[in-house]
Structure 1
Amino acid sequence: MHAKNRVPNSGQSTPSPPASPLRSPRYRPGRKSGRCSPFQPGRTIAHRFSCLLLSVLLRRQRIFLFAPLIYISGMLLYMGTASVDVIPVVKHRPSPGSVYRSPQVYEKLKIYMNADNSSADAISTVWKNSYKGGQWRPCVNKSYEGLPESNGYVYVEANGGLNQQRTSICNAVAVAGYLNATLLIPNFHFHSIWRDPSKFKDIYDEEYFISTLKNDVRVVDKIPEYIMERFDHNLTNVYNFRIKAWSSIRYYRDVVMPKLLEEKVIRISPFANRLSFDAPPAVQRLRCLANYEALRFSSPILSLGETLVARMKERSANSGGKYLSVHLRFEEDMVAFSCCVFDGGELEKEDMKKARERGWKGKFTKPGRVIRPGAIRINGKCPLTPLEVGLMLRGMGFDNNTYIFMASGKIYNSEKTMAPLLEMFPNLQTKEMLASEEELVPYKRFSSRMAAIDYTVCLHSEVFLTTQGGNFPHFLMGHRRYRYGGHSKTIRPDKRRLALLFDNPNIGWRTFKRQMLNMRSHSDTKGFELKRPNDSIYTFPCPDCMCRTNKSEAARSSAT
């Protein structure tokens, strides 16, 4: 058989195209095949109906156009027979750490906690770490030279509570020294929350403040009459700078200085946090000098504070006079401001609503503001309750013989909330317990003076525990570093981790204790910290306010 030519020869006709393939045989009724037939014998009625319906659909495919209508009709028929009153309930499981379950955790762990006698005396063994480069010592250098002629007077209004006012005072000293100006004793702004009308000399030793700074910054308690005549003897008529928060020292040189030279007196109100944490060494030196050397509490406050320190050391004689201090922030205004939910039910909810409206009218009820208590707790922003503080300290190894000084205002619902803490630590003391009624009378109506007493007793404790942050613990940590060779001797709990642990009623005592001991050890390690950019010099005095002491110098100083 010969192959066909692709190109036909001349004279030959073109070959015909191949025939089309045969079509598949159609399904014909009556054929014995594997197809579905409603007429086959042995079929049930349901099977015959299904086969008949299928054959109709296959033969008349246009019926698929009515499929949506059939589906909708079926759904309507079903909805008509179902009850619409029954709504499926979707159970929402709260995120771990978002719910206050500390009382349940305490009830479970209490038996094991009281039976645990394995802990050593934590008050004597809590601080083990030493700085690898040696300890630190205060080294704030005072000037012994005379000051040049002043460029004018600077008057500031310090707002906030005790330690926010302290920030203003120290920053004012730094700014006045940098501008070669004379500082008028700062005025304390009356605040609706603290409601304390105290003046500078009521809280601090004014004469000591002026004399300590005399060769570095001029400080006076009065502006000369001939200058005040221009302002009708009214400081509110003096030009007031509205300075942005955290302004650099260059701003004062470029903007404030020309006005000072022109007017000879300027006013800055408000002044809290109006100077950047980062500044040249000369400015930092003045901050250190003001905070750690020049600012000393007034004689009455200092005397009572030192008396309470002596009483705490006397009562804790079995521990070598060592005691633990706690800054507990569970006052009504703090609980309200945090927007956290505890276990007080409807009464707590109503109390907090009133407190927010009283202290921050409209702040928490602005349109569009959403408050998520669970998220706040997960992020570690809720204040620790007295129960949580006690449970945490017991887990860290402090037994029920430990003497504790508690610095705080009036605790919210104290009869209920303080009971577990007193059960765990019966030797807990407050300034109201240590001092007589007569000793506290001059200070009871003044929140800043009462805070100054707390500050003094906490400063001299072997261990300081901070629970909520704020200016009080931050200043205290820095002051303790300045006193104790650079180590803050402060326990700073990881509140995010605590939120998870306190939200687990199934946790065991050994697991909980291990977590707390790790947290305590971490605070010991972080006791020595150097100031980083944007850190506060009032919390981290190294290296601006302190110098490193090597081991040989430390040995010589201890020998002498």
Structure 2
Amino acid sequence: MMMQVSQHHRSYYSQKSPAFLSLFLLFLPIFSPDLFSPLSRSYSSLFSEWNAPQSRHVRLLQGALQWQTPFKQQLELWTPLSHQGWKPCQDSQKPHSLPEKSRGYIQVFLDGGLNQQRMGICDAVAVAKILNATLVIPHLEVNSVWQDSSSFAEVFDLDHFINSLSDEISIVRELPVEYSWSTREYYGTGIRETRIKTAPVHASADWYLENVLPVLQRYGIAAISPFSHRLAFDNLPKSIQQLRCMVNFESLLFVPHIRILGDTLVNRLRYPNNFSGQSSEKYVVLHLRFDKDMAAHSACDFGGGRAEKLALARYRQVIWQGRVLKTQFTNEELRNQGRCPLTPEEIGLLLAALGFSNNTRLYLASHKVYGGEARISTLRKLFPRIEDKRSLATADERKKVEGKASLLAAVDYYVSMHSDIFISASPGNMHNAMLGHRAYQNLKTIRPNMALLGQLFLNQSIGWPGFQNAVVVGHKNRQGQIRVRKEKQSIYTYPVPDCMCRT
């Protein structure tokens, strides 16, 4: 008989019998998944939040709540970036002509979340250009974490995408009937000569000419999967690099209903009283990036006690099967190296130390936060004017995007691009995409100094004045200043000098 635990019993065991909980959690991972699968799924969520996380930085929190940020510091923080001597390249003399005859059709199957798929689309256009091939609208895979089956046309404005690139490459919405057999299902049922599985990470243009072009010439079609990160960032013609930039920053517009919802959220952030005569407010977008997947992969301790540690270890074992190498380091070592994502409490302390007052309008761009509202409560103490999609928009306004991770992420991306300041709690695809796109438009983006913050948060004796000063000094040059791309770095994160030209 399946064991059920009511709310009453959960409360009883958590208060009266902590030993029962510890023992159950200790032995839960060894039971057969088949025996416990429905139960383990429900308990995984329950146990990860069994002990509500307490504040880990009480002294700093008290200091932040009492601190009055000087007006001059606030003014400097909100001041837009001055012109930095770079602007998007506009090469009016560049010839635009399609090849007389396409060499065949290129298909790509893109995994990952929205921002990883976005980079894959840009690379797919570049590869089609390199091969003088016709690009089939990329297929977006169902992500194993987000479970979203949205297609390209449900996320991006398909007409704009095709029309904006019409002078660069040929693009088709679907294959002609003679190639209709070339589907995702076809490649999932066996080895196929038209599928390229061997594309190395950061492959060169020559690799595609030597390995994919012969397949195109023989069969008229080539399907490349996996494709994420399968094109190098270096040693490519300037025209190819600028084409990738054009796709990322100009050709990939979201579908109209996402832009409309995004504008609605931006207007409500700017004008919270819905009064057209009031002056507009400034707002910060905070990407928390603190979901269970992120917390487990980091192998760090987040203050949830033994129950949380065991729940994350179990999740890590199931998802990555022991391949997370960070688990060999202690929590202190990981934090000193800046490899632990900031908790909502810690990102709140960072914002307060930088000079944001408790009246700051804050928009949370995040998937479900690990630990729920209990984890966010400290952040709310520091910044009570927190908003997100659900607090700003009605259920009816959200109905076209609700339950679809890619569309929800697209809304957050749109709102982020219209914010005065963007900051992410830890590096990742969203952080990298915003860093590049906002640099392209000369917008302010704060990059947390993860190593510095890890060391400061480990220091149990530091007071608020010392913490605040160290944060300000350590982030002085991390607020959107242009950084020239180094070898092997992504042009989507660092668009100078490939995507931008000196004025």
Q: TM-score range by the shorter chain?
A: 0.7 to 0.9
Equivalent residues of 1:123, 1:322 under 8 A apart? no
Q: Give the Cα–Cα distance (whole angstroms) in 2 for the partners of residues 140 and 451 of structure 1.
A: 32
What residue number does 1:501 align with?
456
Selected match of 1:289 from 246, 264, 267: 246
What residue number does 2:312 align with?
352
Partner amino acid, structure 1, of 2:166: K
Name stretches of at least 5 consecutive residues in structure 2 with no aligned partner.
Answer: 1-52
Residue correspondence of structure 1 range 302-451 to structure 2 within 5 A: 302-315=259-272, 320-363=280-323, 370-451=328-409
C-alpha distance 397-145 of structure 1, shift in aligned 2 (>3 A) = same
What residue number does 2:76 align with?
125
1:204-235 CA-to-partner distances (Å, cap 9, x unmatched) read: 11111111111101110122223447999956
C-alpha distance 140-267 of structure 1, shift in aligned 2 (>3 A) = farther
What residue number does 2:196 align with?
241
Selected match of 2:491 from 537, 541, 554: 537
Equivalent residues of 2:86, 2:500 under 8 A apart? no
2:55 aligned counterpart, secondary structure: helix
Q: Cα distance, 1:128 vs. partner?
A: 7.1
Partner amino acid, structure 2, of 1:352: L
1:418 aligned counterpart, secondary structure: helix
Higher-Rg structure is: 1
Number of aligned residue pairs: give it.
Answer: 441
What residue number does 2:10 align with?
none
Q: Cα distance, 1:548 vs. partner?
A: 2.0
2:286 aligned counterpart, secondary structure: strand
Equivalent residues of 1:162, 1:451 under 8 A apart? yes
What residue number does 1:454 align with?
412
Equivalent residues of 2:452, 2:474 under 8 A apart? no
Partner amino acid, structure 2, of 1:411: V
C-alpha distance 436-256 of structure 1, shift in aligned 2 (>3 A) = same
C-alpha distance 423-199 of structure 1, shift in aligned 2 (>3 A) = same
Q: Cα distance, 1:431 vs. partner?
A: 1.2
Q: What is the TM-score when the length of structure 1 is the normalising length?
A: 0.74
1:103 aligned counterpart, secondary structure: coil
What residue number does 1:171 align with?
123
Selected match of 2:465 from 492, 505, 510: 510
Equivalent residues of 1:104, 1:505 under 8 A apart? no
Partner amino acid, structure 2, of 1:190: V
C-alpha distance 102-515 of structure 1, shift in aligned 2 (>3 A) = farther
1:477-517 CA-to-partner distances (Å, cap 9, x unmatched) read: 11111222xxx511111111111211222212221111111
Q: Give the Cα–Cα distance (whole angstroms) in 1 for the partners of residues 256 and 383 of structure 2.
A: 32
What residue number does 1:185 align with?
137
Q: Give the Cα–Cα distance (whole angstroms) in 1 for the partners of residues 221 and 488 of structure 2.
A: 30
What residue number does 2:60 align with?
109
Equivalent residues of 2:98, 2:170 under 8 A apart? no
Q: Cα distance, 1:320 vs. partner?
A: 4.4
Q: What is the TM-score when the length of structure 2 is the normalising length?
A: 0.82
C-alpha distance 230-184 of structure 1, shift in aligned 2 (>3 A) = closer
Equivalent residues of 1:154, 1:267 under 8 A apart? yes
C-alpha distance 355-140 of structure 1, shift in aligned 2 (>3 A) = farther
1:149 aligned counterpart, secondary structure: coil
Q: Give the Cα–Cα distance (whole angstroms) in 1 for the partners of residues 81 and 398 of structure 2.
A: 39
Q: Give the Cα–Cα distance (whole angstroms) in 2 for the partners of residues 416 and 233 of structure 1.
A: 43
1:343 aligned counterpart, secondary structure: coil
1:315 aligned counterpart, secondary structure: coil
User: How big is the alpha-carbon RMSD for the aligned residues of Structure 1 and Structure 2?
Assistant: 2.7
1:523 aligned counterpart, secondary structure: coil
Partner amino acid, structure 2, of 1:171: D
Selected match of 2:87 from 92, 116, 136: 136
What residue number does 1:195 align with?
147
Partner amino acid, structure 2, of 1:502: F
C-alpha distance 111-337 of structure 1, shift in aligned 2 (>3 A) = closer
2:248 aligned counterpart, secondary structure: helix
Q: Give the Cα–Cα distance (whole angstroms) in 1 for the partners of residues 260 and 65 of structure 2.
A: 39
The reply to whether residue 547 of structure 1 matches residue 496 of structure 2 is: no
Q: Cα distance, 1:531 vs. partner?
A: 2.0
2:150 aligned counterpart, secondary structure: coil
C-alpha distance 451-238 of structure 1, shift in aligned 2 (>3 A) = farther
Q: Give the Cα–Cα distance (whole angstroms) in 2 for the partners of residues 109 and 181 of structure 1.
A: 58
Partner amino acid, structure 1, of 2:168: D
Q: Give the Cα–Cα distance (whole angstroms) in 2 for the partners of residues 168 and 194 of structure 1.
A: 18
Q: Give the Cα–Cα distance (whole angstroms) in 1 for the partners of residues 424 and 69 of structure 2.
A: 26
Equivalent residues of 1:322, 1:461 under 8 A apart? yes
